[in-house]
Amino acid sequence: MHASEKPSLRVLLCAPRGFCAGVVRAIDAVEQALALYGAPVYVRHEIVHNKYVVEGLKAKGAIFVKELHEVPDGTTAPVIFSAHGVAKSVPEEAAARNFLAIDATCPLVTKVHREASVHYKRGREVVLIGHAGHPEVIGTMGQLPAGAVKLVQTPADARAFTPRDPENFAYTTQTTLSIDDTAEIVAILQERFPSMAGPHKEDICYATTNRQEAVKRVAPQVDALIVVGAPYSSNSQRLREVALREGCRVSALVQRANEIDWSVFGTISSLAVTAGASAPEVLVEEVLDAFAERFALQIETVHTAHEDVFFPLPRQLRPDAAE
């Protein structure tokens, strides 16, 4: 189609979007381990929830396993734990098998682990607000003995929850939840149990918060919104839901440009684009290129926050580690 014949499309590009500091650190950890130790490097679970990133690391020599029993005995290759965090039993098994274990858990997830452990040591029952089965939730619940953490997923769960001692329990949250959904659940618990203890500082991480705030800003202004991210990425799914809640009629999560449904997105006049915390910018560009083939794009970047958070690599991978 000739450029002059293309219909016009106003595109609001969310900023910030895409990679957060924890994801950058986790990917860098695998790449640095490959550089220092050579292939293979074993990684327990997907280092981050993005197929594109995982395939790229596989091509460089990373081997992804679901559980440590898949790692051969006697290997001298590093074994890396993903950004989502792991139950205490995982590093214990790695130590028992003399693996060179490298923990790439996001420091903001580690903070939640510490909070849960401190509450437990103080004799409090621990409530975790999160999604059952998510790797981060499995890791956080696995910091404490079985049954010590109660999972609350919905407002209905919060209304039905009965603590052992209403005067002596505390809540923590998964780092990638919807801010509004979580606030609703916390409000129900606080109303029912005014003495409930909580985190000193919000558990939902800065990147989740910032990406949701950017979507809230643009969603009412556009016909449709695309989140670039994986279907099993919690923070990406929350972005899609936030857009719908804020009045955007069409909100879709796509991993790549080839997943765009042109029967829906082929007739719009305005579009917002964002990306989950584990989606690389190259995939955002791929989506924009696909729209540029069909539309004359007028792109505006909508800035809602500045991010300069940086997390250093795990100690074994820093340049001074060899000294």
State phi, psi for 253 to the nearest 5 degrees.
-105, 125
3-state secondary structure string, the chain? CCHHHCCEEEEEEEECCCCCHHHHHHHHHHHHHHHHHCCCEEEECCCCCCHHHHHHHHHHCEEEECCHHHCCCCCCCEEEECCCCCCCHHHHHHHHCCCEEEECCCHHHHHHHHHHHHHHHCCCEEEEECCCCCHHHHHHHCCCCCCCEEEECCHHHHHHCCCCCCCCEEEEECCCCCHHHHHHHHHHHHHHCCCCECCCCCCCCHHHHHHHHHHHHHHHHCCEEEEECCCCCHHHHHHHHHHHHCCCCEEEEECCHHHCCHHHHCCCCEEEEEECCCCCHHHHHHHHHHHHCCCEEEEEEEECCCCCCCCCCCHHHCHHHHC
Nearest to 20 by CA among 109, 129, 80, 140: 109
Active site residue 293: no
d(CA 42, CA 44): 7
From 93, 115, 136, 241, the catalytic residue: 136
Active site members: 136
